[in-house]
Structure 1
Amino acid sequence: MNKSQIQKYLNFLKVKKFYPMKFKNCEICGSSKTILIQERISWNNNMFGVLPVHCCSDCGFLFQNPRFSKKFYMEYYKNSYRNITLKTLKPPKKYLEDQKFRGKKLYEFLKPFIPKKGSMLDVGSSVGLMMLPFLKKGWRCEGNDPIKSFVDYGKDELKLPVKWLQSEDMKLKRNSLDLIIIMGSLEHVVDVNLVMKKCANAMKKNGILVLEARGDPLGFSKDFFNQSHHRYFFGNTMELIMIKHGWKPFLTTKYPVTGPSRPNTQFCFGKFIGAQQSKKFKNLISNGKKETYLDVKYKLKYHDYIAKINK
C-alpha cells in the first residue's frame, strides 16, 4: 500500500495520526513467498477499499499484508472497532445474552474433556460472560480483551475477572492452566506466535485449547475479507498453528459447538503435548499438510459462484 492508500484507510477509521505499514512473512511457516489474493476488501458499513490479503505460497495461510504496528492496533481496538462493528462502545443486551448462551453451550460440549474444576483463560474475552458457567462450577478464571469499554462493563457491572490489555502483554504463570479458549480472537491479535507461545508456557500437560475462527465464506469473498480480521484460518491452518506450539488437534469441526448465532464458524480442539508435538511441525508442511494458492483460490471462486446463484 502506498502512503495515500494508507491515509485513506486511516481517514475512514477517523485516526488522526499517520501509521506506516510493513510487510510480514507467513505467520505459520515463516515463508516470505506470498501471492496477492484480494486487494480491495470490506471496510464495513458497505464500504470497500484497499487493504491487501495475501496467500502464503508454501502453506496456504491467508493474512493481511502489509500490516500496522502494535501501537496502531491498540488505538484501533480501543476507539474504532466496536463503533464500526456494533456502532456502540457499550455492549448491547443482545450481545450480552449471546455471550452467556455461547458460554453455556461451550461448557456442556467440553465437559467430557476437562476436569470438574480447574483454571481457565479466555483470550479476547470481551465482557467475559463466556466464563460464567465455569465460574459457577468453581473454576478459577481470567479473561483479557483490548476493547476497554467492554472490559470495563464486564469488570464493573458484571463483576467478572477480566483485564484490559492486548494478549501480547499477558503475564501468565507457567504450567497453571487446564483450559484456554480463543473464540474468534486469534484472527485479531497483533503477534499470533507470541500469543500462542505465552499460552503454551502457561498450559498444563494435556490441557485443552479451543480455537474458533470464521470458517469458509457464507457469501462473496469480497465481503468475507474485512479490515477487522488480520488473518484467516481454514481447518488445516488452525491445526498447523496448534501443532507448531505444542497442541495435538483431536477435533476440527464446523458443528455449531456454541449454538447458531455464528453460522459457519469452525472449531479446533487440541490437547497440549509440548515440545514433542512442536518438533513434528517442521516436516508436516513439506510432507503435504498444506493448502496451495490454487486450493485457496478455487475455494473462494466456488463460494463466489454459490453466492451469485443464490443472490
Structure 2
Amino acid sequence: MQKRPHLPPLQTLRAFEAAVRLASFTRAADELALTQGAVSQHVRALEARLATPLFTRERSGAVPTPRAHELALQIRQGLNVLERAFDPPARGAARASSRAREPVRLTVSVLPPFADRWLEPRLGRFRRKYPHIELTLRKEAALARLNGRDGVDVALRYGPGAWPGLQAERFMDEEIFPVMSPAYGNGVPPRHFADLARCTLLKHRAQPWEPWFQAVGLDLTEPRGAPLFDDARALLEAAEQGRGIALARASLVARELCEGRLVRLWKRRVTDIYAHFIVWRADSPQLPAIDALRAWLHDEAARRAF
C-alpha cells in the first residue's frame, strides 16, 4: 500500500492563504479569529516545512514572495474543492445555478498597444476556458487606481514591479531589439552595432535605448534630437514608413516581423529591465476571477506564439 504524503494542518493552510490574499498577518488573524502571533507561527511552520521563505519581512510588514502567491493559489483552489465537497446538496446546487445565471464581470486596465497586439488576439482562448467570466478591457495609458471606485478590478502593467499598496506578479519578461523597414537605408541594414551611431534612431519616451546599448557592449548614450514618440504604435508605424530604426518589444512586433513589414536587426537576445506584471488589490472581491486570469496569462506567456 502506497504511503500518502503527510499534509500540513488545514488551519496552517488557511492561515497562510489568508495572509497572502490579504497581504497582512493582522487582517488574516481577524478573518480567521486568530491572534497575529498564531498566523505568524503557521506561516513559519510552512516555511520550515518547505525550507524556503514565503514572505519578505520589511518595515511596512510581511510581503509575499512569488512562490507564496503560487502556493496560495493552489491552496485556494484546493480549499474551494473541499468546500464544494462538504456543501449540502441543495445549497451546492443553488450556488452552481446562481453562478450559471450570473456571470462574473472582470474589468482589466491595460496599455492600448499591448491590448491590441498581444492580449486581444488571444482572448478567444480565455473565453473558451472561462465562459462564465465576462472580461472587459479598459485601454488606457494612465495607471488605474484599483481603489474600488474606478471600476477596475485588475491591471496589466509594464514596469519595475513595485506599486505601493498593491499585489504585483510578474507574468512575462520582454525581449527588446532594433527593427527597421526593409526599405530603410536603401535596403542595406547596418552590419555592426556601432553602425547605429550613423543611423536615425527613433525614441519612445518609456523605452530608452541605453539599456540595450549597455547589454550589447556599445559605448553610446541616448540619442539626442531623435524623433520622440509617446505611443508605441506611432513609433512602430514610423519605423514601417522608413523614418528610422526603432527599439521594439517582441510582444508588439510579432505580426509586422511575420508579414515582412519590419525586419529585426541581429539575433542578440536582450531582456528588458522592465517586465509585464499583473496588479490587483489583495482584498478585491473578484479574487477567484483574478486568479483565473493570472493562471491563464502565465499559460499564454509560456505559449508565446499566436
* Fold-level similarity (TM above 0.5): no
Q: Flag the structure with higher helix content.
A: 2
TM-score range, shorter chain: under 0.3
Whose relative contact order is higher, 1 or 2, with alpha carbons under 8 Å and at least 6 apart? 2
